[in-house]
Homo-oligomer: A and B are copies of this chain.
């Protein structure tokens, strides 16, 4: 044996042997699960013994819907959300730049841009937008772009203007504005459609940059015990460049440098792009393979509850003028899903509203009925607003739901307002789904929410926000047991990724992916779960993180 983990409280998530004390691993696989006595007897001279100190060990976590690239990119940008003044945004930029230059050995590479996001002048005493001259105080050597919290306004420094070739003679753009001072010189402020000038100037992410960004992001996930993800990454690059993401991650995987297992949710619309993708021979990889595998077709079929763009079956309770916006017509959705389905590629459809869910299930049913194929794990991402009929349909179609329990933290404040008390009662209904026999997988949608699995499990178990409110839990009849919550973040995710034969539970012959937690979330006061910390992560038998 390469390694024996012993003296643990192992919750295997395998019904045939739910609990154990110790696990022996070799060549990345689990070779034996049992009592300390049984397993320690297998020790050889070459075996490394790892004392778990009585702590809880569970299978490595699966986050079934996350954005690795977006999260990784967010680490590359200055977060300006907390800035209280223009002085602050300058100071934050300087400090970030200094740190990055240090990490990179004295200078940043050719083509690097300092990017920041999240500033909001509404919170400042000096209620004005920053200008190029403010940002020049950060650096005159590197281009700087700072995006406002709303996303609609970008400010850049003089070096950026120079690289973009923007000056007093640059024409305005329809639907946008380049702000000029009274002398006709650009101030560095770009609004709405004019932002494209900035976007187009920032160098595309090269394959090595994608690799760096993905790896950094994945390293952070390992610290939360996450060993496998379904990740939606093509959104992080211009549409035509998804191939770079595939190439970058495939190369990392083949060279043994990818720090996490990825089942890629391929965001490919419009239809011609999906067809191009399929014509290249790409197919959902259902029978294992490397750490990077092609997953389902990701479809973004509606918006959000916050912005009232999620598509409801009825008008918004707090804005009867709208039902939200379906991104696709039923015909378009049918065609996208059928095109993928016919090639054995399941769809993973982002549905927040019940109207969108109805459309997605109709399209899935149609694809499957017109061209029945075995074991197609079509799935619904989010699946927040539901009623009893839709819950039953999920089961009838044997669909998978990607749930984000941590969304409770924010959404509990707005759901009743948005959809009304009646529809609220049957929404975010993960317990009902499990009871009905719907496959549920857990995830975070990071960077939208934190991928801290303990916080996510806390929300699933207590139905409370991270502030511990409401006391009795939101829709408390939907509370999951800790067992169920851990299950959806392990076996649930493995099933959703066609990975249940080789991952998702602590079972002999499966990959040795584990998370060790600083307290026993099965036995502590549930209030403590959100503070629990992963203290060790094991991936393919190797300890890849240790606190």
Q: With A17-B437, A437-B17 in contact, is A29–B396 under 8 Å at CB?
A: no
A32 proximity list for chain B (CB < 8 A): 396
Kindly identify which residue among B29, B34, B287, B373 contacts A373, using a CB–CB cutoff of 8 Å: B29
A28 proximity list for chain B (CB < 8 A): 372
How long is the Cα–Cα vector from A172 to B438 in the complex, in angstroms?
A: 73
Do residues A374 and B17 form an inter-chain contact, with CB atoms below 8 A?
Answer: no
Do residues A507 and B398 form an inter-chain contact, with CB atoms below 8 A?
Answer: yes
How long is the Cα–Cα vector from A501 to B398 in the complex, in angstroms?
A: 13
Do residues A509 and B31 form an inter-chain contact, with CB atoms below 8 A?
Answer: no
How long is the Cα–Cα vector from A300 to B510 in the complex, in angstroms?
A: 28
The proximity string for A residues 497-512 relative to B, scoring 1 for CB distances below 8 Å and 0 otherwise, is 0000110000111110
Do residues A369 and B26 form an inter-chain contact, with CB atoms below 8 A?
Answer: yes
A177 proximity list for chain B (CB < 8 A): none
Tell me if A288 counts as interface (CB < 8 A to partner B): yes
How long is the Cα–Cα vector from A511 to B28 in the complex, in angstroms?
A: 34
Q: With A375-B510, A502-B374, A509-B376 in contact, is A396–B38 under 8 Å at CB?
A: yes
A286 proximity list for chain B (CB < 8 A): 287
Do residues B509 and A34 form an inter-chain contact, with CB atoms below 8 A?
Answer: no
Tell me if A395 counts as interface (CB < 8 A to partner B): yes
Counting every copy of the chain, the complex holds 2
Q: With A27-B372, A31-B372, A374-B502 in contact, is A396–B510 under 8 Å at CB?
A: no
A64 to chain B, nearest CB (A): 18
Do residues A34 and B396 form an inter-chain contact, with CB atoms below 8 A?
Answer: yes
Interface SS of A by simple majority: loop
Kindly identify which residue among B33, B374, B502, B508 contacts A288, using a CB–CB cutoff of 8 Å: B374
Do residues A509 and B17 form an inter-chain contact, with CB atoms below 8 A?
Answer: no
How long is the Cα–Cα vector from A14 to B437 in the complex, in angstroms?
A: 9
A376 proximity list for chain B (CB < 8 A): 509
* In the complex, chain A residues 411-449 whose Cβ is within 8 Å of any chain B Cβ: 437-439
* In the complex, chain A residues 371-424 whose Cβ is within 8 Å of any chain B Cβ: 371-376, 395-398
Tell me if A16 counts as interface (CB < 8 A to partner B): yes
Do residues B437 and A16 form an inter-chain contact, with CB atoms below 8 A?
Answer: yes
Do residues A372 and B29 form an inter-chain contact, with CB atoms below 8 A?
Answer: yes
How long is the Cα–Cα vector from A232 to B466 in the complex, in angstroms?
A: 59
Kindly identify which residue among B397, B437, B508 contacts A396, using a CB–CB cutoff of 8 Å: B508
Tell me if A330 counts as interface (CB < 8 A to partner B): no
Tell me if A368 counts as interface (CB < 8 A to partner B): yes
Do residues A511 and B374 form an inter-chain contact, with CB atoms below 8 A?
Answer: yes
How long is the Cα–Cα vector from A396 to B398 in the complex, in angstroms?
A: 32
A398 proximity list for chain B (CB < 8 A): 507-509
Q: With A372-B29, A502-B375 in contact, is A508–B397 under 8 Å at CB?
A: yes
Kindly identify which residue among B15, B27, B33, B374 contacts A509, using a CB–CB cutoff of 8 Å: B374
Do residues A29 and B501 form an inter-chain contact, with CB atoms below 8 A?
Answer: no
A82 to chain B, nearest CB (A): 46
How long is the Cα–Cα vector from A368 to B32 in the complex, in angstroms?
A: 10
Do residues B437 and A375 form an inter-chain contact, with CB atoms below 8 A?
Answer: no
How long is the Cα–Cα vector from A247 to B267 in the complex, in angstroms?
A: 44
Most buried by B among A17, A286, A372, A375: A372
A497 to chain B, nearest CB (A): 13
How long is the Cα–Cα vector from A373 to B395 in the complex, in angstroms?
A: 34
Known: A16-B395, A17-B437, A286-B287. 14 other contacts (CB 8 A): A14-B437, A15-B437, A16-B439, A27-B371, A27-B372, A29-B374, A31-B368, A32-B396, A287-B287, A288-B374, A374-B501, A396-B508, A397-B508, A398-B507
Q: List 16 A-B contacts (CB under 8 A).
A: A1-B369, A15-B437, A16-B438, A16-B439, A17-B395, A29-B372, A29-B373, A31-B372, A38-B396, A286-B287, A288-B374, A373-B509, A374-B501, A374-B510, A376-B509, A397-B508
